[in-house]
Amino acid sequence: MKGDEYILSLDQGTTSSRAILFDRSGSIAGMAQREIAQIYPRPGWVEHDPLVIWSVQMSVIIEVISTSGVKASSIASIGITNQRETTVIWDRHSGKPLYNAIVWQDRRTASFCDELKEKGHEAMIKEKTGLLIDSYFSATKAWWILNNVEGAREAAAKGDLCFGTIDTWLLWKLTNGRVHATDITNASRTMLFNIHTCEWDMELLDLFGIPLSMMPEVKSCSEKFGETNLIDLKTTIPVSGVAGDQQAALFGQMCIEPGMVKNTYGTGCFMIMNTGSKPVLSRNNLLSTISWKIGNNVTYGLEGSVFIAGAVIQWLRDGLGVIGSSAESESVAAQVNDNGGVFFVPALSGLGAPYWDPYARGMIIGITRDTKYSHIVRAAIESIAFQVNDVMEAMSSDLGMELTELRTDGGAAANNILLQFQSDILKIPVVRPAILQTTSLGAAYFAGLGSGYWGSVDEIKSQWRSAARFNPSMTSENAKSMVDRWHEAIGRASEWAK
């Protein structure tokens, strides 16, 4: 194999699309990124235009090729990673979407989800899919499009429609409509996929009125999905890796042994632990999901999502106006040695895992005459770590084991005070890797393994390097009393808006 080949990783996220070229050492050789427009037709509704997603994705591909000087003929293969759960339905003959993509954040099917719970479907759905009934997942979004677009149910019955998450949509477009497929991690977030048999589940498809003919073929994360010549008409490039964004990050962090866990500190926090070859069904309101499939081996995961993490720092900037930039939160918090007794529950849109309390609201408590704005900033940073600690406790309890290290990524993982405090209350080392683009890197790894660019996981696992390591420095008594106080604060903020 030539030495000058690259893997092209396409990362289609909620707010932007990226294209990154990685070389054989896992280093970045070029990157382009552009935002995509958010569409908010009504309160609680969030949509993207699938054709915009496609055109922005192509534009960043062209940009990274032209700015890096890497030729299309030097791209060994393509990997795709994507915002998960977001749903597109299109006509298989014309390729035209029936409706905008309904984004994972969209809550329009919340009352239908309540109905499903009232009808007693929760246990069956949790057992089969590992998920809790929620409008977050794709099934009720597809149900809504079929019910609300004129003629959609008839077209579906005739076999004229395709369902897809964003990976499937991009793959369809890249292959000129020749391939209708997804990978197993994206399938596991639809609430239509049985994570034990690893097949679309007929009982669930019937429940939502979705014919099997609409569903994409489910492949592993690392094999040939199809090929494209749209980047350069004279060059055919295989697509050989696909995974949902959080699973790709877990792989990019090389959390390849059971018990290894990563947390992404973005707008929210997404923590996933590798649980090995068997699904662990949570007793603590976490989700069981598929981490990846390579060859015939399925690796499962346990996941907890926190809705407001970096977003509380944005609120300090835009809502309260006490910092000029997110990064400034660190220097402001460093003006004080501790939170001065102030606790901040950032339930700005309810609480996610492990509380799932949509009626909790934000609260700052413990303010006295000595309180400075820097205490409040520090309390906001600490609130991110407390929430991660709650998810970690739920994971340890589900697994009956203590975790030994947390790998981190995402925008807020740049904050040293946050990662030090995280280590203090978790009482384990917290590590920031050298490459923070772990989502794109994970997709590149799946693609490179799928096309033979890299020979085995062993070959790439030594590429992961830590850039900074934070070790616990607080006494156990102090850590415990802070966490106890946090739980008291959570109790006072819960169900406030009910």
In whole angstroms, give the CA distance from residue 477 to residue 479. 5
Question: In the complex, what is the shortest distance from the CB of residue 357 to ligand ADP, in angstroms, rounded to a whole number?
Answer: 21
- Give the residue with the Cβ less far from ligand ADP, 161 or 249: 249
Which residue lies nearer to ligand ADP by CB, 308 or 342?
Answer: 308
Q: Which two tokens stand for residue 119?
A: 């009808």
Nearer to ligand ADP, 36 or 444 (CB): 36
Question: Least distance to ligand ADP from the beta carbon of 407, Å?
Answer: 15
CA 164, CA 242: separation in Å to the nearest integer? 13
Collapsing DSSP states into helix, strand and coil, what is residue 271? strand
Cβ closer to ligand ADP: 326 or 397? Answer: 326
Of 245, 188, 235, the residue nearest 446 (C-alpha): 245
**Between 187 and 414, whose beta carbon lies closer to ligand ADP?**
414
Q: What gap in Å lies between CA 476 and CA 481, rounded to an integer?
A: 9
**H/E element holding 393?**
helix 373-399
CB-nearer residue toward ligand ADP: 259 or 411: 411
Torsion of Cα atoms, 18 then 247 then 202 then 102, to 10°: -40
User: How far apart are CB 276 and ligand ADP at their closest, in Å?
Assistant: 27
Q: Which residue's CB is nearer to ligand ADP, number 192 or number 364? A: 364
Asked if residues 265 and 410 have their Cβ atoms less than 8 Å apart, the reply is: yes
In the complex, the smallest distance separating the C-beta of residue 332 from ligand ADP, rounded to whole angstroms, is 10
CB of 412 to ligand ADP, least distance (A): 3
Report the alpha-carbon distance of residue 306 to residue 267 in Å, rounded.
Answer: 9
Shortest CB 214 distance to ligand ADP, Å: 30
Q: In whole angstroms, how close is the CB of 235 to ligand ADP at the nearest point?
A: 31
Cβ neighbours of residue 66 closer than 8 Å, sequence gap 6 or more: none
Token duo for residue 323: 């910092």
Backbone φ, ψ for residue 247 (5° rounding): -70, -40
Contact set with ligand ADP (CB under 6 A): 13, 15, 266-267, 310-311, 313-314, 326-327, 329-330, 410-412, 414-415
Structural element, H or E, at residue 139? helix 138-148
Q: Which residues contact 299 (CB under 8 A, 6 or more apart)?
A: 274, 275, 276, 277, 290, 291, 292, 293
Using CA atoms of 235, 4, 436, 457 in order, give the dihedral in degrees to the nearest 10: 90
Give whichever of 280 and 425 is closer to ligand ADP, judged by the CB atom.
Answer: 425
Q: How far is the CB of 327 from ligand ADP (least distance, A)?
A: 4
Q: Which residue is nearest to ligand ADP (CB)?
A: 411
